Structure formats: structure tokens, C-alpha cells
Amino acid sequence: MSRESRGQVQETRWRSLLPVIGDHMEWFDALVQNLFYFEMKGKLLGVEKPLSFSDWIKGARQDGIVQGELLENLASMHKDMMRASDKLMVESKEVQVKPEFEAFQTFLNIYEEFMQRLRRLERDFLLDGTGYDPFTGLRSPKVLFQDIERELHRLSRRGKHFCIAYARVDGVEGIEKNYSEEEQKGFVKIVADLIKLSVRSFDDAYYMGQYEYVLCLKQADMAGGVSALERLRKELERKNILVRGEGGEAPLSMSCCIAQPVQGDDVRELLKNLKNDLHSSNREPDSVLEYYELSPLQRYVQETTQQ
């Protein structure tokens, strides 16, 4: 497909995405009315599931403009969202009471993440598809700071916590010494695929280059973030990828440093600190480090006690 033809198809796919977003906003409004004001029969909007998404994703699969993994991720989120809304509606009709807070919050979280993905995809179309790394299928570092700033905004507005993890393959020097460039790319791709298996559909992961990855784990505190990294380590163990080194073959492993951002954090500074901690000389391979921002006084006290 020529660049001009691709641009035309991309514009068509972008334009057809706009009514999908609008349809789901209208559906959400009608759903909320029926869940919380069911006693006002005759005055409520009808809850009709939008069909535009299934039509849009069918076309996107055919023209190949959007990565297949991203489409399947969207389809999975949409399915979960509809299943959660069906459960709310059934319970509301049967018992004629407003939904429980936790059940509605579960649905709301999926809906918000789904809509955010659609709007982000819309933006990526306008950026000529630069939102994803074509080799790994992970998010591109070009959009990392913009994505995380949005999560910080959600944290300040809604109190929705999230974690950021900086991860790096251990023994990079040995891999670069003992394997061809093509084989090295294979390791990068394998790890990216395992990361996709380890995170949830609404989490984000980015390939930063040099065997380094960033994970944005949404709606998770530090304990939840560490659990996600443990899932990644278990996937690595299960895969049992052997890497040649000075002492013979050893399983491929990764080390991670994780933090839970707070309001007012400088994203670039936080990521730099995570990376520095990960590269520190006293770190053991195959480790998960928890990073906590310290005040200047705390850092001074810590450095003094270590002397």
C-alpha cells in the first residue's frame, strides 16, 4: 500500500471512529438514567447497545491500518464492558434498586478505560499512527509522557492511583556479545509478548529501547503493581528462555523498579530516578525494587546512616 493510499484509508478509519465514540457516550447516558432513575418510566431514554463498534472493528481488521493486537484488546474490553452493563441492568430490573457501588464502579472503570483508548486511537490517527512501536506492538516512548500526564490528571481529579515500573532485561552485555542482531531483536520481542500476557487489557506498556520497558499499571497501588511484576517474572520462568553467558547458559531474567506517583510528581524526574535505581551497581539480578520519593532531609539522613 502506497503512503498516499495508506493515508486515505487511515483518514477513513479515523472519520468512522468518531460516531463510535458518540454512540457509546449516548448509550452510557441512557444506561445511567435507567440504573438510577428507573421509577421514571416513560421519561427515560431507551438503552440500545451501540452496533457501530463491531462494524468499525470489522473494517479495521480488513484494512490492516490498526495493529491486530490493539484491535483484539479493544474488542476484549468492549466485551467486558457490555457484560458488566448487562449484569447491572438485569439486577436493576429484577429488584428495582440502584446498583451497588462496587458493581457500578467496576463497570465505570472499564467504560472510562475503553473510551480513553478510543480517544487515544483517534489522536494516534492524527499523529500518523505514531502511538505504537511497530516491532514490539507496545506503546511508543513518543507518547509516554503525554499518557502518564493524563493518568496524573485522573489521580488528582478522581483519586485513581496507578503505578509506574521501569524494567530491564538482565545480562544485556552478554546478550549483545553472544548473539546476532537478529537474535537480539528476538529477545526484545519475546519479552514484549510476555509483558502483554502479564498486564491487564487497560494497562499500558512501552518499549524504550536498549532492552528497557516502562509499564503503566492503572488502578493499582504499590501492592497491586508488584503483583503485576510478579506475574511477568512467572511468565519468564514458565517460558524458560536460556541465554548464553560467561558461566554457561542461564534463564533470561528481568529486574524492575516500581513507584506509585502522587499529585504534583514530575514524570520525567520520576522515570529518571527509577532508571537510575535500576542501574545501580548494588542491585541483584531478577529483582523488584520499590521506589519511594524522599524529601531532601530524608535523603540526607539516609546517606549519613550509610556512611
**pLDDT of 302:** 39
Per-residue model confidence as pLDDT tens digits over 91-142: 777 767 888 899 999 999 999 999 999 988 887 776 655 577 878 989 888 8
Is the predicted pLDDT of residue 243 greater than 50, yes or no? Answer: yes
Phi, psi at 201, each rounded to 5°: -65, -25
**pLDDT of 298:** 39
Q: For CA atoms 232, 233, 235, 236, give the dihedral sign.
A: positive
pTM of the model: 0.66
Residue among 148, 149, 132 nearest 140 (CA): 132
CA distance 153 to 113: 14
SS3 237: helix
Is the predicted pLDDT of residue 281 greater than 70, yes or no? Answer: no
In total, the chain counts a number of residues equal to 307
The lowest-confidence range among 26-30, 90-94, 140-144, 266-270 is 90-94
Is the predicted pLDDT of residue 50 greater than 80, yes or no? Answer: yes
Is the predicted pLDDT of residue 216 greater than 90, yes or no? Answer: yes
Where do the domains of the chain lie? 3-126, 151-306
Segment 273-301 mean pLDDT: 60
CA distance 183 to 250: 16
**Which value, to the nearest 10 degrees, does the dihedral of the CA atoms of residues 134, 154, 163, 191 take?**
-10
Beta carbons of 155 and 261 less than 8 angstroms apart = yes
Beta carbons of 289 and 195 less than 8 angstroms apart = no
**pLDDT of 245:** 77
**pLDDT of 135:** 86
**pLDDT of 82:** 95
Per-residue model confidence as pLDDT tens digits over 3-25: 555 556 666 777 788 889 989 99
Segment 27-38 mean pLDDT: 86
**pLDDT of 192:** 95
**pLDDT of 129:** 55
Confidence category of residue 40, pLDDT binned at 50, 70, 90? low
**pLDDT of 128:** 58
CA distance 65 to 122: 13
Is the predicted pLDDT of residue 189 greater than 80, yes or no? Answer: yes
Segment 159-171 mean pLDDT: 90
Looking at domain 151-306, its CATH architecture is: 2-Layer Sandwich (3.30)
Is the predicted pLDDT of residue 228 greater than 70, yes or no? Answer: yes
- Return the percentage of the chain with pLDDT > 90, whole number: 29
Paired strand residues for 166: 214, 257
**pLDDT of 296:** 41
Give whichever of 125-139, 174-188, 249-263 has the largest mean pLDDT.
Answer: 174-188
**pLDDT of 112:** 93
